[in-house]
Chain A
Amino acid sequence: MPIRIHIPTPLRQHTDGQAVVEVSGTSVQAALDALGQKYPAITQRLFDNGQVRRFINLYVNDEDIRYLDNLATPVKDGDELSIIPAVAGG
């Protein structure tokens, strides 16, 4: 069972409209690299000089990677990786 990456609505234009993309990898960084190989345009939307853009948060099974091991946080098959940007409207 692969890792399931949840793509937020504003970024789905870069994943052919896919809300969930399944990839393989042993860390958050590896999973996102695999996502970028499938959909190259998304990498620039997620990263700025190798750092995750500051208004985008990454959650592994609903835990924030900043209190885990950031991009080195290990992931395994069946894990859910959510990309959640700050939502400004209202």
Chain B
Amino acid sequence: MSTDPALERYSRQMRFPGILEEGQRRLLRSRVTLCGCGALGTVLANALVRAGVGFLRIIDRDFIETNNLQRQVLFDERDVADNLPKAEAAARKLAAINSSVHVEPVVTDIDRTNIEELCRDADMILDGTDNFEVRYLINDVAVKHGKPWVYGGCIGSHGQTMTIIPGETPCLRCVFEAAPNPGEAGTCETAGVLGPIVNIIASYQAVEALKILTGRHDKINRDLLYFDVWDNIQRRIKVAPLRGKVDCPCCQRRRFEWLAGEHGTQTTSLCGRNAVQVSHRRPTLLNFEEMARHLEVHGQVSYNRFLLKFHAENCEFTVFPDGRAIIKGTNDVDKARTLYAKYIGH
């Protein structure tokens, strides 16, 4: 065992035969970009910083609210009172946990114009986001630049995770060809989420990161893992044969449609109206009946053939059948995108 005092804090991890001192030294040299620092992201950041990655970039556009504390393990009541951005509050906590890790907080909205720069110097990317728009962007960047990444998603009492190694495994678009339409699948705001399922999914993601960063590709999970902790379901779906079997635009034809801006949303601040419009580059056809059912937990929802209206977080949402929404009560386009992802989903 090493006598290097800088490694003493990792002694129990290095005693584990899968890591040893060699693996620890690789971890200490590694660089990770974490996209999103909410429920999954805080568990991931906590695990990686304690384990001793060298550099962790944490990107998040959001601020901490009281209703985050039930599951977002790095935050506390003081952070809410101080009105801190999530990335900044996380970086402060992580510095107290392990000051030898270089944590770089970035308070920004991840989009197609900045994601390549944010991921360029990383050995791998971790998914702590709450929406498919950013996940497909991560998938495009990862495949384009040959970087491994680990998908995780949770809602209610269930969640799923898979590891993507470009050139070896199917990518996210091989497995999930398209994101649910806005309002179709529910979000953590509309369907709720239990803290423990988030910890389970993020912990699987974190251990996959340890395998990737220590060079143990032989140990990587090649299946889609699915858990429902309320209904006691665990499934291991064999997705490996999908690689090459589906005509994937991303990893087979190397067309990076999300990076190219062919999909996703765009925002426009509606000058003088204290409102932001969020629209889809490819219009969808919404099912207002389904959407209203998801949103009713937040109060009254009204709709007709032409539009659906509801209120949340002091904003008025007017949603149109093509997925476009006008969010009244803010001029902040990042906040509007956050609200869209939380209540309508994409």
Within 8 A of B (CB), among A11-50: 13, 19, 45
Is B158 in contact with A8, judged by CB distance below 8 angstroms?
Answer: yes
Report B-chain residues with C-beta under 8 Å of the C-beta of A59: 235, 237
Report B-chain residues with C-beta under 8 Å of the C-beta of A57: 175-176, 237
User: B95 an interface residue at 8 Å Cβ cutoff?
Assistant: no
Q: Mark B118-162, 1 if CB is under 8 A from A, else 0.
A: 000000000111111000000000000000000011111111100
Q: Mark B28-51, 1 if CB is under 8 A from A, else 0.
A: 000000001011110000000000
| Complex Cα–Cα for A67 and B191 (A) | 32
| Complex Cα–Cα for A88 and B343 (A) | 12
Q: Which of A19, A62, A90 lies in contact with B237, CB distance below 8 A?
A: A62
Q: Mark A57-90, 1 if CB is under 8 A from B, else 0.
A: 1010011101100000000000000101111111
Stretch at the interface among B12-20, B238-246, B314-322: B238-246
User: B178 an interface residue at 8 Å Cβ cutoff?
Assistant: yes
Report A-chain residues with C-beta under 8 Å of the C-beta of B40: 90
| Complex Cα–Cα for A54 and B263 (A) | 15
User: B262 an interface residue at 8 Å Cβ cutoff?
Assistant: no
Is B242 in contact with A90, judged by CB distance below 8 angstroms?
Answer: no
Report A-chain residues with C-beta under 8 Å of the C-beta of B178: 54-55
Give the interface size class of chain A. Answer: 20 to 34
Is A62 in contact with B188, judged by CB distance below 8 angstroms?
Answer: no
Between A and B, how many residue pairs show CB distances below 8 Å? 108
Is A88 in contact with B187, judged by CB distance below 8 angstroms?
Answer: yes
Shortest beta-carbon distance from A12 to chain B in Å: 10
Is A90 in contact with B176, judged by CB distance below 8 angstroms?
Answer: no
Stretch at the interface among B108-116, B225-233, B250-258, B323-331: B225-233
Is B238 in contact with A89, judged by CB distance below 8 angstroms?
Answer: no
| Complex Cα–Cα for A34 and B41 (A) | 41
Is B236 in contact with A62, judged by CB distance below 8 angstroms?
Answer: yes
Is A89 in contact with B226, judged by CB distance below 8 angstroms?
Answer: no
Given the known interface contacts A85-B185, A87-B154, the answer about A64 and B159 at a Cβ–Cβ threshold of 8 Å is: no
Report A-chain residues with C-beta under 8 Å of the C-beta of B157: 9
Q: Mark B324-342, 1 if CB is under 8 A from A, else 0.
A: 0000000000000000000
Is B237 in contact with A66, judged by CB distance below 8 angstroms?
Answer: no
Q: In chain A, what residue has the closest Cβ to B346?
A: A88
| Complex Cα–Cα for A19 and B41 (A) | 30
| Complex Cα–Cα for A36 and B101 (A) | 54
Is B237 in contact with A84, judged by CB distance below 8 angstroms?
Answer: yes
Shortest beta-carbon distance from B303 to chain A in Å: 17
Q: Which of A9, A66, A67 lies in contact with B158, CB distance below 8 A?
A: A9
Report B-chain residues with C-beta under 8 Å of the C-beta of A6: 233
Report A-chain residues with C-beta under 8 Å of the C-beta of B184: 55
Is B176 in contact with A86, judged by CB distance below 8 angstroms?
Answer: yes
| Complex Cα–Cα for A57 and B180 (A) | 12
Given the known interface contacts A9-B156, A13-B293, A57-B175, the answer about A88 and B180 at a Cβ–Cβ threshold of 8 Å is: yes
Is B186 in contact with A10, judged by CB distance below 8 angstroms?
Answer: yes
Other CB < 8 Å A-B pairs besides A66-B246, A86-B153, A88-B179, 14 of them? Answer: A9-B156, A10-B156, A10-B186, A54-B177, A55-B178, A62-B236, A63-B241, A67-B242, A84-B237, A86-B180, A89-B153, A89-B193, A90-B128, A90-B129
A-B CB proximity, top 7 nearest = A87-B153, A54-B178, A89-B155, A89-B188, A86-B176, A90-B40, A67-B241
In the complex, 6 of the A-B residue pairs with CB atoms within 8 angstroms, ordered by the A residue number, are A6-B233, A9-B158, A10-B185, A89-B155, A89-B188, A89-B191
